[in-house]
Structure 1
Amino acid sequence: MKTSSIRALPTLAAAVLTVGMASASTSEGVSVTQRQQIDALFAQYADTARPGCAVGVMRKGHVAVAKGYGLADVERAVPITSASVFDIGSTSKQFAAAAVILLEQDGKLSLSDDVREYVPELPDYGRVITIDHLLRHTSGLRDYTALLSLSGLEVEQVGTDEQALAVIARQRALNFPTGTRYEYSNSGFFLLAVIVERVSGQPLGQFARERIFQPLGMKSAQFRDKHAEVIPGRALGYAVDAEAPQGTVRFRNALSNWEQTGDGALHLSIEDLAKWDENFYQPRVGGQPLIDRLTQRGQLDNGEKIAYARGLFVDEYRGVPRVHHAGNWVGYNAMLARFPEQHTSVAVLCNFEGAEASELSEKVADIVLADVLKGADAGGAQKASPGKKAAVKPVPLQRLLGSYFDANTETILEVIEQQGALILKIGAMPLPLVATGPASFEVQGFPVKADFSLTGKQAANELKLRIGDDDAMAATRFTAATPSAEALQSYVGTFYSPELDVTWPLVIDQGKLAVRDEHRKFETKIQPLAPAMQDAFSGEAGLLRFARDASGKVTGFELSASRMRGIRFELRSMNR
């Protein structure tokens, strides 16, 4: 799950906070010039009053760079070092995958086993979901993190395994038939943690500690499966405080109390990651069979290859093979990228929302692998310097404004103009677009890229949007419906979802249809809904498509949102 964030503004340069791990010769490591270029890249985070990042460069069995920039604890002014422990979010998935493969090597399960052999709570969806479907994100299961959020559970509240398993088990449909598509879902990897515990008799954290962390000497690595657990050396998570006085930058705590593992929750340091990374070259845990299983790309039922292997993406970066996985959870952002042919890896761990760990890792790779990457600047200095992109003049903004709909994900995208700037709205989240080409844009502080399709001088007819490592959305322009005030009244009522076990009152507020959110104690929140297609509205929760009976009366709606589609809400009463 990815949370909203506001990009931290650059702060005044300060002394770089560094701690080295191990030295390496220039021929096997990183030159003095390259180190300086890396320092320049992270200079905006090297501040004695803000959170930041740790970076590691591993080359040919040596740790060539291990440095910290910024603070692990802003309140106590504790600097980030190579030993600082970060929540690495979804970068954890490769460890859950490794645990399952080790159990397969033990003869205790097979990746082709039906998941319901181990998790009988799951409904029978008419097709077998195997353990390998979970590992590949091809199961079709809706994402439990989004389901829990819709059910009213905030990340600051305690979220347990029991809650996650219960909400997954309540789902009566899949996003797509198992094996026919790749679509990232945290549910699969959470279920892998459940399977590890039921097969081995140990929680994933204990199993990983005994079978992976201790054998490799990963002294700080641990899964945080108890929200109150104390983790020595932890870098706390932060976000920019949007309520800070104008012209100032202030941070607030951004931490989660959810206890689920498998899909995330692993805490470790650059030093720990270096030891795990070298296991891919000199496999002490699991042997070469483990590495081969982890890095074998998946395949759909129709034979199409996908970039996801097992807990890892396998692709190319600037013409060079790469194995990687990013992670983003509340106040943390992480990336571990491995370039196996060069025996080189880059790890970036950050402790604030809006950090660009994936982009930063690529820029570090541009520096240390400039001699082999296509299109990389051999000098590296200009490429590495932040905030120096050449000005790009986009096409007239009026050609890009409008509503776009992606049928595969049931997602509405709105492109609007505010004070001369182009804004992309996904639900209620406004994302400022920065031009990278005449009709190409990115969102600073988010791994979001947007490309508009133009013909002649007409308005754009399609918007292709890529978020992180997810497949690109192809959203087609449409003209939103304009229901009358009388027509809006037909949607007013109380609706119940058996799959989420929540009741949503829909009301008219200031002339607009809205969800009256009553999940919070002593607080009611009104979430306005914007008309989309006929009998469809979009809002913070996602896209609502209403159903009617033969007489034309509304009987309910289906909700589709991030990584989940077709959640049924039934009309309980009309409130008029």
Structure 2
Amino acid sequence: MNIAITTSLKLMALLALLYLPLCPVIAQPQVPETDIDSLFASYTDNTPGVAVVIVRNGEVIFRRGYGLANLEYGIPITPQTVFNVGSVSKQFTAFAIYLLAEQGKLSLDDDIRRYLPELPKFGKPITIKHLCYHTSGLKEPLALLSFAGWRMDDYISTAHVLQLLSRQTALNFESGSAFRYSNANYVLLAEIVARVSGESFADFTRKNIFEPLGMQQSQFYDDNERLIKNRAYSYDFEDGKFKKEKLNAAYVGSTALYTTAEDLAKWNANFQKPKIGNPALLQKFNALATLDDGTPALLSKDMNIQHAKGQFYRNYRGIETYIHTGGDAFFRSFFGRFPQEDLSIIVLSNSPHFVAFPMGMKLLEILVADKMLPLHEEAATIPTPPATKSEAVAETDLAQYQGHFYSTELNSTFEVQLKGAQLWLRHFRLEEIPLEPLPEKGSFSGRNYYPFSLHFRQNEQGQVQEMEVQDFRGEKLIFEKH
């Protein structure tokens, strides 16, 4: 090396050292790794587990995996492990809609039948905005599927869900008049994206969201036979041991995003420094949802939790939060953004023992406990109502409920059968469901993947003429006696 070059390099190094004091570095708060590790200590080399990524001031400050992605092969979870994130998928679906609106290819005020003419007319039109806001009044497809005789481990495609929604005869309420969370909204949004763009929803999101953001391990899973590298598998726990929890669904929009904790950190970065969209679009996207009369679209009035297109906004103990959790089979996910703290928390799991929201909020407390307001006493302790014991029903009274009951909109028949002193609900594709009496006469409870209540209704002559099924979300389905 000649003398001139050597002298120049020394001069550049000296200038760099002189310049350092003029550029203060913002130090990241120390990460309480021990506390975080303790929170997930139950996930070991013998259990399913979690992947955790924490982002602060635009930098990933913590990334770690606990437990196994695959119990059969002993493959550990890492921040690069691919999980199904359930309903965390919804914000990507809504964002795809907003991208198309920004391009002038649709309007949020469009009647959805412009794109989905096979859906019935329900009086007042349902708009794309109603779908985004969960104010459409459409029934929950998981309730419809389970009482149409579908098993939750069946192959279920978007086409299957569309066919079922197209048979519906009524809404839960007039569109725009109330908030009610329904996966139907986001399945339909994904289908609108596909029909407007002329390509599959999976391809549209790959080209317009995942690839521009460098989310190389992310995809909407619309083919239940497609291979996914580095994926985790979902597990249940029964009789003291883990077992596989099958998931064959391939309907997209409301769920079916397979991604990693690290990829979600890249999605998170787009809220601060957008590579797709722009600040104005993101402001619209983060704006809180309302009913048609302008009142807030609230998930919970008591806790003031308001919807915001695949996110829920809440001021929790003085911290501004945008959170959504997800669950499909026994995949569980937590994606929380806390803009005032420039903090985001991502936790993905394949364990039946992981409860997303409480664990995500425990992480928040570990990280910013000094900034959180104390819990109100009434919020910390929720009184448990006294249990109501139902009296046994005589066999002679139970006998009147026997028979076959048919739903036109579901094209589904259930048989009610009395065995001894126990009523059973039977469907040729499902396991028998025991019905337990409730305090109200003619009312029973059961579980068909999800808990439900059932009420037999009589005509003026006192004869049973129909049964009304109400699932835990409040969906009411009518089966007439044949």
- Shorter-chain TM range is 0.7 to 0.9
Kindly state the Cα deviation for residue 480 of structure 1 after the two structures are TM-superposed: 5.1
In the alignment, which residue of structure 2 is the partner of 1:318?
317
Q: Mapping of 1:96-495 within 5 angstroms? A: 96-240=93-237, 242-244=238-240, 250-305=241-296, 306=298, 307-375=306-374, 437=381, 440=382, 451-452=383-384, 460=386, 483-495=393-405
Partner Cα distance (2:179, 2:25) in 1: 42
The answer to whether the 8 Å contact 2:84/2:257 transfers is yes
TM-score relative to the length of structure 2: 0.87
In the alignment, which residue of structure 2 is the partner of 1:535?
442
Kindly state the Cα deviation for residue 141 of structure 1 after the two structures are TM-superposed: 1.0
Output the aligned Cα RMSD.
Answer: 2.1
The answer to whether the 8 Å contact 2:453/2:469 transfers is yes
Kindly state the Cα deviation for residue 28 of structure 1 after the two structures are TM-superposed: 4.6
Does 2:45 match 1:52?
no
The answer to whether the 8 Å contact 1:332/1:352 transfers is yes
Distance verdict in 2 for CA 1:252–1:493, change over 3 Å: same
Partner Cα distance (1:358, 1:36) in 2: 21
Partner Cα distance (1:252, 1:152) in 2: 24
Partner Cα distance (2:433, 2:444) in 1: 15
In the alignment, which residue of structure 2 is the partner of 1:554?
464
The answer to whether the 8 Å contact 1:50/1:74 transfers is yes
Kindly state the Cα deviation for residue 145 of structure 1 after the two structures are TM-superposed: 1.7
Partner Cα distance (1:354, 1:200) in 2: 40
Question: How big is each residue's C-alpha offset from its partner over 1:259-316, in whole Å with a ceiling of 9 and x where there is no partner?
Answer: 0000011011111011100100111111113311221111124443130011111112
Counterpart of 1:258 in structure 2: which amino acid? Answer: A
Distance verdict in 2 for CA 1:372–1:526, change over 3 Å: closer
In the alignment, which residue of structure 2 is the partner of 1:515?
425
Partner Cα distance (2:433, 2:362) in 1: 42
In the alignment, which residue of structure 1 is the partner of 2:302?
none
Distance verdict in 2 for CA 1:537–1:40, change over 3 Å: closer
* Residue-pair matches, total: 444
TM-score relative to the length of structure 1: 0.74
Kindly state the Cα deviation for residue 483 of structure 1 after the two structures are TM-superposed: 4.9
Partner Cα distance (2:217, 2:411) in 1: 39
Overall identity of the aligned pairs, in %: 36
Partner Cα distance (2:25, 2:322) in 1: 24
From 17, 41, 44, give the equivalent of 1:43: 41
Partner Cα distance (1:490, 1:103) in 2: 56
Larger radius of gyration: 2
Distance verdict in 2 for CA 1:43–1:126, change over 3 Å: same
Kindly state the Cα deviation for residue 30 of structure 1 after the two structures are TM-superposed: 4.5
Distance verdict in 2 for CA 1:97–1:28, change over 3 Å: farther
Kindly state the Cα deviation for residue 27 of structure 1 after the two structures are TM-superposed: 5.2
**Structure 1 stretches of 5 or more lacking a match?**
1-24, 245-249, 377-435, 441-450, 454-459, 461-476
In the alignment, which residue of structure 2 is the partner of 1:413?
none
The answer to whether the 8 Å contact 2:413/2:427 transfers is no
Partner Cα distance (2:153, 2:250) in 1: 11
User: Tell me, what secondary structure is at the counterpart of 1:452?
Assistant: coil
The structure that is helix-richer by fraction is 2
The answer to whether the 8 Å contact 1:547/1:557 transfers is yes
